[in-house]
DNA sequence: ACTAACACGTGATGC
DNA sequence: TGCATCACGTGTTAG
């Protein structure tokens, strides 16, 4: 792209002093003829301004030249259009399936209730999920715990009962079921017992929980 | 917007036969001077083509005039940009929380843990929390529900029992206690009953839940 | 020297 | 009659 690139600055002073000849006239005119001279100027300015405005709306400009501005704006419009299409697609997908998950098997399970849960435990082990309990002391009288286990109908209720039995008050809790497995995260407040002086016997608590969770309802 | 609108068709035959005068020359030239005449023509054609292409990319065109084309393209770009912003916003909202909450009072309350539990119910009412249940159908056999209520020891267990009784399987759930109030958000799968042909009686379900939650343990 | 891009003034063309 | 827009050819400037 050679050549004088930058927009040429307006001149305004009639630098062209030319002679015009009418069809049958012959004499030389220094005079000024142009009924629409000013109008044309306004038109040019207008277009120029519009182009500059357009340029300001386009993030990437390869060249300051008029044609390039228009060209870049075209490509930009195309990009925007495609982006809009993609976003709407994604959004519609999301509306149908609010949870991300592993896509496939997940949604199949959730959307079609169908036959429930034959061989949950095996499915879980196939997928590499194992029964697991983690405990963590996060405060003087506070615990955080994570439980992964197979999905059983009464598991959550049982968990709540155990918690109450152990004198643990639920501060907050989240439960998620997926692929025949259940994940529970919760932080609890220690109300009574279980507090051996200053410390809590985490290992013992963990074993107890594990045992209870494993026993069938 | 008066004036010759439609693009003027190219003329190509030099219809202007003018006399040019050099700075100090005076004689009349019929001759052809134009080193860059053809180049200029190509440039014009180029810009023209780009403008037409731009016009073809913009759905709404108020006028065929050059300035209008550029102007319309600007507004179109703005619309597209805004749309993109809106879509991304919506998408992000969806990723974080599948459904909107009431915002305000909620977050304000949740942030301050402070002193525990004297006059729970009164405190809740002071802060403007009222027992509230929202239900929302988010799929063929799926419900989303939000419950705000006062903090009661057995409320969560009771909730689980009620869910099981109603044939609702917990897909996921979060519980948060704060300032003597409890917030429960959950999405559930409808296993049995409650499904009246295609639709679910949300209002009835809601009333039932409300009643159960209000009754003391 | 050569090319590319610009602003200018002009005649023409519809409204 | 104006008025707005166009294409054209040109002089000019910068790479």
Using the predicted structure, report yes or no on whether residue A57 has a pLDDT greater than 80: yes
Give me the CA A184–C1' C11 separation in Å, rounded: 83
Nucleotide nearest to A23 (CA to C1'): C11
Query: Which of the given ranges, A14-28, A173-187, B87-101, has the highest pLDDT on average?
Result: A173-187
Confirm or reject contact between A52 and chain B (CB < 8 A).
no
Best to test chain B binding among A22, A52, A67 (most B CBs inside 10 Å): A67
> Cβ separation of A80 and B78 shorter than 8 Å?
no
pLDDT band per the 50, 70, 90 thresholds, residue B58 = very high
Report pLDDT digits (tens) over A154-170: 777 788 888 888 888 88
pLDDT at B216: 62
Task: Give the integer Cα–Cα distance in Å for B162 and B212.
Answer: 8
> Cβ separation of B157 and A157 shorter than 8 Å?
yes
Report pLDDT digits (tens) over A69-111: 999 999 999 999 999 999 988 887 766 654 433 333 333 322 2
Task: Give the integer Cα–Cα distance in Å for B179 and B110.
Answer: 7
Using the predicted structure, report yes or no on whether residue B172 has a pLDDT greater than 70: yes
A vs B: CB pairs below 8 A: 144
Residues A141, A189 contacting (CB under 8 angstroms): yes
Residues in reach of strand C, judged by a CB distance below 7 angstroms, are A 1-5, 7-12, 14, 16, 20, 32-34, 36-37, 40-41, 44-45, 48, 64-68; B 2-6, 8, 15-16, 35-36, 39-40, 43, 46-47
Query: Looking at per-residue confidence, does A201 or A51 come out higher?
Result: A51
| Average pLDDT score over chain B | 69
pLDDT at A48: 92
Query: Range with the lowest mean pLDDT among A88-92, A136-140, B50-54?
Result: A136-140
Query: Looking at per-residue confidence, does A41 or B9 come out higher?
Result: A41
pLDDT band per the 50, 70, 90 thresholds, residue B82 = very high
State the nearest residue by CA to the C1' of C12: B8
Using the predicted structure, report yes or no on whether residue A148 has a pLDDT greater than 90: no
Task: Give the integer Cα–Cα distance in Å for B142 and A152.
Answer: 19
For the question of whether the overall pTM of this predicted structure is more than 0.85, the answer is: no
> Cβ separation of A88 and B87 shorter than 8 Å?
yes
Mean pLDDT across the stretch B83-106? Answer: 64
pLDDT at B126: 53
Using the predicted structure, report yes or no on whether residue B119 has a pLDDT greater than 60: no
Query: Which of the given ranges, A31-35, A57-61, A92-96, has the highest pLDDT on average?
Result: A57-61
DSSP state of A7: P
In the structure encoding, which two tokens stand for residue A32, read together?
A: 């000024």
Choose among B127, B114, B213: nearest CA to B162: B213
Alpha-carbon distances of A174 from A170, A185, B88, B138, B156, rounded to whole Å: 11, 5, 27, 20, 12
Q: How many CB atoms lie within 10 A of CB A175?
A: 20
Task: Give the integer Cα–Cα distance in Å for A206 and A191.
Answer: 17
pLDDT band per the 50, 70, 90 thresholds, residue B192 = low
| Average pLDDT score over chain A | 69
Give me the CA B56–C1' C5 separation in Å, rounded: 25
Mean pLDDT across the stretch A21-43? Answer: 62
Q: Which residues pair with B182 in a beta bridge?
A: B149, B177
Using the predicted structure, report yes or no on whether residue A47 has a pLDDT greater than 90: yes
Confirm or reject contact between B85 and chain A (CB < 8 A).
no
In the structure encoding, which two tokens stand for residue B187, read together?
A: 């999405």
State the nearest residue by CA to the C1' of C4: A3
Using the predicted structure, report yes or no on whether residue B145 has a pLDDT greater than 70: yes
pLDDT at A75: 94
Q: Which CATH class is domain A120-214?
A: alpha beta
Domain edges within chain B: 35-82, 120-214
Using the predicted structure, report yes or no on whether residue B13 has a pLDDT greater than 70: no
pLDDT at B188: 84
Sign, CA torsion A87/A88/A89/A92: positive
Chain A hits for B51, Cβ within 8 Å: 70
pLDDT band per the 50, 70, 90 thresholds, residue B130 = low
> Residues 100-159, chain A: which have Cβ within 8 Å of B?
110-111, 113, 153-154, 156-157
Nucleotide nearest to A51 (CA to C1'): C6
Query: Looking at per-residue confidence, does B7 or A194 come out higher?
Result: B7
Give how far A137 is from chain B: nearest CA, Å: 19
Q: Which helix (H) or strand (E) holds A160?
A: helix A155-165
pLDDT at A167: 84
Alpha-carbon distances of B59 from A25, A58, B82, B84, B143, rounded to whole Å: 50, 18, 16, 17, 40
pLDDT at B84: 93
Q: Could you give the percent of chain A with pLDDT greater than 70? A: 59
Chain A hits for B187, Cβ within 8 Å: 98
Q: Which residues pair with B169 in a beta bridge?
A: B189
Query: Which of the given ranges, A96-105, B21-30, B111-120, has the highest pLDDT on average?
Result: A96-105
């Amino acid at each position: 792209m050679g050549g004088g690139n930058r927009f040429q600055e307006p001149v305004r002073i009639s630098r062209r002093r030319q002679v015009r000849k009418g069809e049958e006239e012959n004499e030389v005119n220094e005079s000024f003829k142009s009924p629409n001279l000013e109008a044309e100027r306004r038109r040019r300015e207008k277009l120029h301004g519009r182009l500059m405005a357009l340029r300001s709306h386009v993030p990437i400009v390869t060249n300051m030249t008029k044609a390039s501005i228009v060209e870049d704006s075209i490509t930009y419009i195309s990009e925007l259009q495609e982006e809009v299409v993609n976003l709407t697609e994604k959004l519609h997908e999301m509306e149908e399936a609010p949870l991300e998950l592993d896509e496939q098997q997940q949604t199949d399970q959730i959307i079609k209730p169908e036959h429930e849960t034959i061989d949950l435990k095996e499915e879980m082990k196939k997928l590499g999920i194992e029964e697991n309990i983690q405990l963590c002391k996060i405060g003087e009288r506070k615990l955080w715990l994570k439980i992964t286990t197979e999905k059983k109908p009464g598991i959550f209720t049982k968990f709540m009962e155990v918690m109450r039995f152990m004198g643990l008050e639920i501060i907050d809790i989240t439960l998620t079921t997926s692929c025949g497995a259940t994940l529970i995260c919760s932080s609890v407040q220690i109300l009574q017992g279980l507090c051996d002086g200053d410390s809590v016997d985490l290992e013992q608590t963990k074993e107890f929980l594990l045992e209870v969770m494993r026993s069938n309802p």
